[in-house]
């Protein structure tokens, strides 16, 4: 698996300027996801061919409370060919279910998470692409 993106929660949109300056990144796409009550902004860093950075701006729900409302590093996302294959392997080998009972759609992506208790608080996201629009650097 390769790293698809790094997810960072920021409390509000006003912080985007400083993050874009710090990372030297430009916005690739932006989406509001009802299931997470959050705007997701994907950015690509200039010339690094590294993973994308996803800024998460929650307007409610549990993400709004992350790190006592201050935000911060939220997750590391790994690209997989099939989330359903990952789900089956984890269930068969470790008797663990993924966090969501169904994959969540974000534009051309499907996503799901490993429950954080499995990794002692490190949040791991699995990302499956369907081949349209946004693609992170190779």
Q: What is the per-residue pLDDT for 75?
A: 96
Instruction: List the chain domain ranges.
Output: 2-129
Q: How far apart are CA 37 and CA 123, in angstroms?
A: 18
Distances (CA, A) of 87 to 57, 95, 118, 126: 27, 10, 14, 10
Per CATH, the homologous superfamily of domain 2-129 is 2,3-Dihydroxybiphenyl 1,2-Dioxygenase, domain 1 (3.10.180.10)
Q: How confident is the model at residue 7 (pLDDT cuts 50, 70, 90)?
A: very high
Q: Which of 70, 100, 63 is nearest to 84 (CA)?
A: 100
- Mean predicted lDDT score pLDDT of the chain: 89
Q: How confident is the model at residue 138 (pLDDT cuts 50, 70, 90)?
A: very low
Vertex 121: Cα angle to 118 and 124 (nearest 5): 70
| DSSP H or E run through 86 | helix 83-94
Asked whether the beta carbons of 107 and 133 are under 8 A apart, the reply is yes
The torsion region of residue 85 among left (phi > 0), alpha (psi -120 to 50) and beta comes to alpha
pLDDT(133) > 60: no
Q: How far apart are CA 69 and CA 3, in angstroms?
A: 26
73-99 mean pLDDT = 96
Instruction: Give 12-53 pLDDT, tens digit per residue.
Output: 999 998 998 888 888 888 999 999 999 999 998 765 667 899
State the pTM of this model.
0.86
Distances (CA, A) of 136 to 24, 27, 28, 67, 79: 15, 11, 9, 27, 10
Backbone angles phi, psi at 131, to 5 degrees: 90, 10
Tell me the range of 36-40, 119-123, 129-133 where mean pLDDT is highest: 36-40
């Amino acid at each position: 698996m390769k790293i698809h993106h790094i997810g960072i929660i920021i409390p509000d949109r006003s912080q985007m300027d400083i993050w874009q300056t710090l990372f030297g990144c430009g916005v690739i796409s932006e989406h509001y996801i009802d299931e997470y009550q959050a705007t997701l902004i994907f950015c690509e860093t200039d010339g690094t061919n590294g993973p994308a950075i996803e800024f998460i701006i929650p307007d409610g729900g549990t993400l709004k409370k992350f790190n006592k409302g201050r935000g911060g590093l939220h997750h590391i996302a790994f690209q997989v060919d099939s989330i359903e294959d990952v789900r089956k392997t984890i269930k068969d080998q470790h008797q663990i279910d993924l966090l969501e009972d169904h994959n969540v759609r974000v534009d051309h992506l499907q996503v799901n998470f490993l429950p954080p208790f499995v990794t002692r608080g490190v949040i791991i996201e699995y990302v499956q692409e369907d081949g349209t629009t946004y693609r992170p650097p190779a």
